[in-house]
Amino acid sequence: MTPSQIESKRSIDRENQRYCRAKRKSKLDQLQQQVDALTKQLEDTRKELQASQTREKSWSETFATLRLPNDQGTESKYVENSERSSKDTSYNLASVDYNTSLASYTDSTFDIPPLDSSLSDTSWDLDIPSTPPYTLLSPSAPLPWSSHFTIPSPNPSPPWKSIPLLLSATTQLDLVILTTTDTLRRHGLRNTTNPFPSISSLLNPPGPPSSESCSISDAAAAQVRRSPLQDVLSRVGFLFVLSHLLRWYICRTEESYEQLPAFIRPTKMQLSIPHPAWIDVIIWPEVRDAIIQKMDWSRFEEYRQIVSRSLSVNWPHSDPRSILQIGDDGKSYRLSDTFERHICTPENWSVDKAAAEAFPFLESVSREDKFVSV
């Protein structure tokens, strides 16, 4: 190579080196910016998590200081109704005429029937022997119409006798609803003066599980404790809704229907289209209808996990005592009238925008940010 060619090559090499160094520096700067942004995002998330944990701890500690009495001990044992045949094993809510008074079922106890332990472990939190009255089916959309439902009579029934058309169990929540209803409708129960639902069932979980007896509140609270709901007050609200719905399914009286929160009463679609029982406990009537019409029911677990992360009752008070008041017996606690009115207003419940993105029919009940109590 001539000296001029060598010099030209060196010049090109130097230019290439400068370009590579500049490109490397630009890439490093870009990566550093990404690291800084992610670090800030992580720190913000950590602070938000710590604040949330602090609030949850404050609520838990305050509930603990209340020392809620375990009112389960005052609940009466069941007496079996000899006039009701134990051979009736078909599950047809719509065909049963319930004449039992509401007072007899308010929060009494009952024996758990034999149930397949593989189905009961995550729902009941109780020791139950095995023999399966129900089996979990594979969910699909739409699910097959079930032959054990009675065709509605041409003569319209009063609202309190109009029962949702429920399919066989496809989820653990279905199983809890169907089994609890099926069990209690076969037993006569003694009166009880305990507040309903029993908040102690949720805030003061019982000791070792017992298969001897269980109340409506116990069954509902066991399911709530197993649920992925993250917000304490949402758990209390879910207990309230599930307990009242179970009581109406069991009593099937005008009184129990009138005490059922208006927003959880079945829609026309729930009364005319067979569907999984878990849909009936969803807060918003329009969302229940949308799920029956549009959603693939096999996505239940996905729906449950996404909604549970952000479901909120948006309670505007920070003092945990604001949701409770002393019961009429002067010993036990019950939900305060103010809190009951709050959770009985579906507009006070919401999910975040992420839930609405996954399930567009939740858009009308979603909020940008969860309400923070002060």
pTM metric for this prediction = 0.60
Q: What angle do CA 160, 161, 167 make, to 5 degrees?
A: 115
Amino acid at 269: M
* Residues of the chain under the 50 pLDDT cut: 67-135, 138-152, 189-193, 208-213, 371-374
Q: Tell whether 81 is covered by a domain.
A: no
Q: What pLDDT score does 81 carry?
A: 39
Q: Tell whether 16 is covered by a domain.
A: no
7-34: burial string, b at 16+ Cβ within 10 Å, e else: eeeeeeeeeeeeeeeeeeeeeeeeeeee
**DSSP for residue 352:** E
Number of domains in the chain: 1
Residue 45 three-state SS: helix
pLDDT digits (tens, 9 = 90+) for 171-181: 988 988 898 88
Q: What pLDDT score does 101 carry?
A: 40
- From 164, 181, 373, 350, select the one nearest 273 (Cα to Cα): 164
Q: What pLDDT score does 326 carry?
A: 77
CA distance 214 to 356: 37
Q: Tell whether 182 is covered by a domain.
A: yes
Q: Tell whether 33 is covered by a domain.
A: no
For residues 112, 118, 120, 125, the Cα torsion angle rounded to the nearest 10 degrees is 110
Can you give the residue range of the structural domain that contains 247?
A: 88-367
DSSP secondary structure string, 253-265? -HHHHHTS-GGGS
DSSP secondary structure string, 182-251? HHHTTEEE----S-SS-THHHHS--SS--SS-EEHHHHHHHHHHHS----HHHHHHHHHHHHHHHHHHHH
Amino acid at 130: S
Q: Tell whether 144 is covered by a domain.
A: yes
Chain center to CA of 43: 30
CA distance 20 to 332: 75
Q: What pLDDT score does 58 carry?
A: 67
Q: Tell whether 200 is covered by a domain.
A: yes
CA distance 158 to 191: 26
Q: Tell whether 300 is covered by a domain.
A: yes
Q: Tell whether 38 is covered by a domain.
A: no
pLDDT digits (tens, 9 = 90+) for 162-211: 889 999 888 988 988 898 888 877 765 433 445 566 666 665 555 544 43
Handedness of CA 266, 267, 272, 276 (dihedral sign): negative
Q: What pLDDT score does 77 carry?
A: 38
CB 247 within 8 A of CB 106: yes
